[in-house]
Structure formats: C-alpha cells, structure tokens
Amino acid sequence: MIPSEPPRAAGAVTRTVSGQSMAGRAGYDERFLGVPVPLPIPAGPAVETVVLPYTHFTVVLRPDRRMAAATAVCIDGERLLEQVPRECDWRPDPRLGKDRQTGEEVYRNNSLDKGHLVRRPAPVWGEAAEAYQADADTFHYTNAAPQADVCNRSRQVWQGLEDYLLAHAARPGRKLAVLTGPVLHDSDPPYRGVQVPLRFWKVAAFLRDGKLAATAYVLDQSPDLIWDAERALAGATPGAPPPLGAFRTFQVPVTDVAELTSLNLGPLPAADLMPVVRVPEDRWKRLASHDDIVLERH
C-alpha cells in the first residue's frame, strides 16, 4: 500500500491506496453536483480508514471491521447505460491484504447475500469503456456487506431509492451524489471473522432550485430477538449466521445518520428536506413505498 494522502480528520488515520491493476480510478468527485459534497470520513475517536477510489465511486474502508464505513458514488442520470452486461465475478481488491477485507469465506454455504453498498447500476454511466469498468468495480468485496437473503417490499424500496430520486427530485440535470454504508456498531454479532451489521444508511444529495438538498434513510435488518452466544450454543445450527429480521426502511434526519455512524457529513445535515420532528416516535418515518418519501420542507 502506498500512502498518498494526509489524515483528513483530527485523530483519524485516512489513507488512499493504489495498485497497478487498479490504476486510473478517479473515484468519487466531491464537486460532481457543482457544490462541494465531501467524502464522508470518521468524525469521532481515532480509527484507521483506507480510501479506495473506483470508477465513479469511492469506498472508505475500515480494516478493523474488514468492510466499508462509507461509500460515495456520483450518479449521472442522463448518461446511465442500461445494456451493460452484469458482472458476477466477486473479487478482493488487490490493493489490500485479504485479512483487511471480507471474502467468499464469509458468504459461502449460508443464507447471507453480498449486499452491494454502491448499487451496481449507479456508477454505470459515461462512455462504454468507463461504464463497463464501473460495473466490474462494484463487484469488489470492499463494496459488499452481509445482508439477509430474504427479499421483501421494504428491501425493494431501499434498492430503488436512487431511481426514485433521479425521477422525482434531482431535476433538472438528474444528478445525485449518494453516500451509503453499514452502521458499524461494537455490538454487531460476530460471524466467520467479521461482525454482521444490523443497519445500513444512505444519504442522497442533489440540487433543488440551485441549492443543495439532501434526504437520508436507514435499512434495518435487526432480529426480533437479540443474538447472543448463549442462544447460539443452545439452539442455533452450528456454523449458521446470526438470525436477522425482516427488512424495514425508514426516512430519517441526516443528523441521525451522522450520530449513528460518527461520520462527518459536511453540509448535508443543514440541507435536509425532512422537517424537524421533536416527538421521538415520529422522528423516523417508516416507508411502505417510495410515495411515502418526504421531499419538501414544511
């Protein structure tokens, strides 16, 4: 690994790495929208992160958790290519040691999906060569996190958020900057050398009347019963992943994502379109469909 960037937050160690086989990846463009939307970086206690640029997106990886703390992708809705063949060959990033990222051993012979953090179609835009490269880049294990393989309507809402916002919010121009990642909590259940995150977050940024606007979301796969070692020993199938619950998708205040993740989200909390709700039980809005999304301040 070749350090090429100084630390970007007090107390945090953030490095950008390069490798010959991944040369030329420019990564996420912080000025893609015309106004700065910085790469999310840890804002709290010192924690090592490694910045991995890909085609149209960047992964901020936490080696201690062997997965991303955050990802950031530029989506040009006017230049998306829909006919790019889907790449299916998941691979480790050659710029990192295998002990610093997840691999097939986490997902083999179990009920866990390799959940794309940057959705495969999101960075697949531009000229054919860069679109094909972007598609392949999304299939690095650094862009995956374990998710339950059950599919329900709430997960479909989560997977279609970018498409909905491109159609209904990011006009004119149809450009989005989307930040996504798992909520990495110390209590996440361990499995095969990693801790399985129970929540995922997403913040979408776009221009509204020439000004920065943002909305935030949380996908929750927490189990109905909390996983613990005693339950594992008493009743779980040996070698089985921790039990995960049904997916639930919420629209949440951007400030809540910043607090959950200890990431610096720059100007996005101030640009949040979700109205401030002081009653705790109404603060997170559960989404049954995209029509439930709040895109206007009241």
Q: How confident is the prediction for the chain on average, in pLDDT?
A: 85
Architecture of domain 13-292: 3-Layer(aba) Sandwich (3.40)
SS (H, E, C) 90-110: CECCCCCCHHHCCCHHHHCCC
Q: Which of the residue ranges 37-46, 73-82, 120-129, 163-172 would you say has the lowest mean pLDDT?
A: 37-46
Length of the chain equals 298
Mean pLDDT calculated for residue range 116-122: 94
Q: How many CB atoms lie within 10 A of CB 192?
A: 16
**What is the spatial distance between Cα 281 and Cα 154, in angstroms, rounded to a whole number?**
19
Mean pLDDT calculated for residue range 232-243: 54
Please report, rounded to a whole number, the percentage of residues in the chain having pLDDT higher than 70.
82
Give the pLDDT score at 231.
43
Residue spans of the domains in the chain: they are 13-292
pTM reported for the whole predicted model: 0.86
Mean pLDDT calculated for residue range 233-256: 71
User: Which among 137, 168, 147 has a CA at the least distance from the CA of 292?
Assistant: 168
Q: Catalogue the long-range contacts made by 82-89 (C-beta closer than 8 Å, 24 or more residues apart).
A: 82/121, 84/124, 84/128, 84/131, 84/132, 84/135, 85/135, 86/120, 86/135, 87/120, 87/135, 87/136, 87/138, 87/139, 88/139, 89/136, 89/139
- Answer whether residue 149 shows pLDDT above 70: yes
- Answer whether residue 153 shows pLDDT above 90: no
Q: How many CB atoms lie within 10 A of CB 21?
A: 7
Give the pLDDT score at 148.
81
Query: pLDDT band at 47, cuts 50/70/90?
Result: confident
pLDDT in tens, 86-96: 767 899 999 99
- Answer whether residue 244 shows pLDDT above 70: no
Mean pLDDT calculated for residue range 69-96: 91
What is the full DSSP assignment across 113-149? EEEESS-TTTT-BSSHHHHHHHHHHTTBGGGEEEEES
Give me the residue label for tokens 């619950």: 245
Q: How many CB atoms lie within 10 A of CB 172?
A: 7
**What is the spatial distance between Cα 36 and Cα 32, in angstroms, rounded to a whole number?**
8
